[in-house]
Structures are given as C-alpha cells and as structure tokens.
Amino acid sequence: MANKARVNDLNGRGDMQKLFNQPADMVDEAIVGFVKCYHQYVAHTACPRTLKYKSAPISGKVGIVTGGGSGHDPAFMGYLGKNMLDAVAIGDIFTPPSEESFYHAFMEADAGKGVVCLFGNFYGDVVNARSAARRAKAQGVEVRLVIANDDVATDDPSTRRGSTGETLLWKIAGAAAALGYDLNQVESVTVQALSRMRSIGIGLASCIIPDVGRPNYLIERGTMEIGVGHHGQSSMDTCKLKTASETADIMIAEVLRDMPLEAGDQVMVILSGLGNTMLSELHILYSRVCDVLQKKNVDIYKALVGNYFTSLDMMGATLTIFHLNEELKRLLDHPGYAVSLTNYITP
C-alpha cells in the first residue's frame, strides 16, 4: 500500500509511458485478456491467480506445473499447452505466487499420478510451493518440486537463481509425462536436464516496476551489467558497454566456465530478450554464438531466439546452453504446443 500511495502521488503513473488502467490491476487484467485471446487452449480455475491448460488434468499422465511472479512475459502462462504445462501459479510482478495459487495449480494438474512443479530458486516461491505441496499431500496428491538454478551469475550453486532454462525444463517434463514417465521418472529426467543447462544474463537498461513507477536501479549509459538477474537485480559486474560480439563471447565464456563442453557435444541454445530488445539485436548476438560454438565443434541441435523469458521492459538478453543427450533430444523433439512455444512444431 505504501507503493500504491507513492504511485498516486505521481498521478498514478510515475515515469511510466505504459498501457494499463491502474498499476495495481495490471496482473489481473493481463490474465483476463490472455484467457480471452487463447480461450481455445487455456482456462481460468477457481483461483483467479491459477490458470490451466484447457484439457488438464489429463488422465494417466503426471501433472506438470510451474509458478512465479509476473513480469516475465511470456512466462509463465504462455507455456500452458499440450504436452507442456498443465497449470501455472501467478504472482504479482516480481513477487511469489501465493500458497493458495500453487495449491490450486497442483490440484488442477493432478490426474491421480502426482505432480512435478518446476520453478525458479527464489526464496518466497520455494516457501509457498513447499507449503502448498504439504497441503496437496494431505489431500492425497503427491507433489515433487524441482527448483531451477540455471543462472551462473552467482558462484555458489545453492543460491543460484532460476533463469530462461526453466522453459526447457517445462518442455522436457511435459514430453516425459506425455510419454508415460511416472512421477519418479519425470522428476529424475528433469533433475538430470537441469544439471546439464546454464544461463547468463546481461543488462543494458533496467526495467520500471509498475507498482513503483520508476526503475529500481539505473544502469548508467555507456555501461552494461554482466550476470543481471531476472528481477531487475543489479549484478556484481558492471563494465563498459561492449560490442555484440564481445558480449556474446563473455556470455559463452561465463556458461562454459561452469559447464565445459567438448568437441562433438550437441546443445540447444536459447537466446532470449529481456523485454526491450529487438529481434535484430538477438540475431546479431546469435550469429556470434553460432560462430564461437562451431569453432569449438559444438553442434547446435536446436535454437530459439526471441522473447521467451523477459524482465518487464529491461534491455538485455539471456543465453542458455543445454547440453543434450539422446534421451533429452527425444524429449525435446516430442510434439507439443504452447501459445509461446510454437517453434517446437515442425512444419
């Protein structure tokens, strides 16, 4: 409420040139608009902050769930779909979903085979998901939590955040569940997948949090941040603004420092914009990523370049490299559909 009062002092808008009615209503109104747009594929549930794939729960299949704060379009609700997410729990902007919202997601996704929830390593999210899992268990629904920590920006893996790699976990888990993997097997293959992916973010301009009305910090012009977080966190490493090629080199080096690759390895690459990044810029960056990996004889099996996991209107990008094996390739290639992951459909 303190924030709200502050926004009102600024005529309800702060410094924001944005399309909304009231800042406090943005998340709920965006959910309603999203469902109106994709009503063939997604549906509301009894909880306004829980959405489900229209056909969920799907009989005979482990349920697949995620949850997280808003502000990461098209995550999370954009990944609901066939052989993808069955339900999502949605928080306020950069704020964990409530226990209630996670609980409803678990119950909506469960078809009697249990649920795997794959989400990012943020304190409040973990607390609320754990609590909701206990509540579901009391109702006879077993929920396994797989906590993504693919962001290499911090040195200690136990405190690492989830990043764009989460989208691949949902794809892997969705395919495994569709192929009849049981609860243990879905959990195990996604834990394995997680251990084979790393992400790094770079930021050139921060984002405006609508309920505050101003950027939470500023990236000085002529500088950039290496290891920037998905919640607009400042990173520990500010440097002079680099060229796209220098930036790609740094991103690849950060990932490979933590997960070395050898000649002959096959990978999937996601290069995601953080919101206010043009596709052209991502293609320029991708061109260099491609060249560097090719020079190391690392084969790019599949690539996604676009806005897959953003941070409001931040300017920057994340690079995710996913080291594949035969099982993971098979799961990636299994047909599936989500409104924001249509490039998985082979024409």
Q: Which CB sits closer to a copy of itself, 259 or 303?
A: 303
Q: Is 295 among the residues that bind a copy of itself (CB under 8 A)? A: no
Q: Show which residues are catalytic.
A: 72, 231
Stretch that binds a copy of itself, among 121-129, 145-153, 306-314, 320-328 (CB under 8 A): 306-314
Q: Choose, by CB under 8 A, the member of 5, 21, 156, 264 that binds a copy of itself.
A: 21
Do 187 and 144 touch, CB atoms closer than 8 A?
yes
SS3 169: helix
- Residues 149, 249: Cα–Cα separation, whole Å: 22
For residue 254, give Cα distances in angstroms to 123, 124, 201, 244.
Answer: 24, 27, 10, 15
26 binds a copy of itself (CB under 8 A): yes
In single-letter form, the type of residue at position 335 comes to P
Spatial neighbors of 253 by CB under 8 A, at least 6 apart, are none
Shortest Cβ 50–a copy of itself spacing (Å): 17
Can you tell me the distance from the alpha carbon of 35 to that of 116, in angstroms, rounded to the nearest whole number? 24
Q: How many residues bind a copy of itself (CB under 8 A)?
A: 66
Helix or strand or coil: residue 78? helix
Helix axes of 244-258 and 279-295: crossing angle, nearest 10 degrees:
50
What's the distance, Cα to Cα, between the start and end of the chain in Å? 49
State yes or no: residue 267 binds a copy of itself (CB under 8 A).
Answer: no
> Applying CB under 8 A, does 37 fall inside the site for a copy of itself?
yes
Question: Does the footprint of a copy of itself cover residue 80 (CB under 8 A)?
Answer: no
Residue 241 binds a copy of itself, judged by CB under 8 A: yes
Interface positions with a copy of itself (CB under 8 A): 11, 13, 15, 17-22, 26-27, 29-34, 36-37, 41, 70-71, 73-74, 78, 81-82, 204-205, 219, 221-222, 224, 241, 243-245, 247, 275-287, 290, 303, 305, 307, 310, 312-313, 315, 317, 337, 339, 342-343, 345, 347
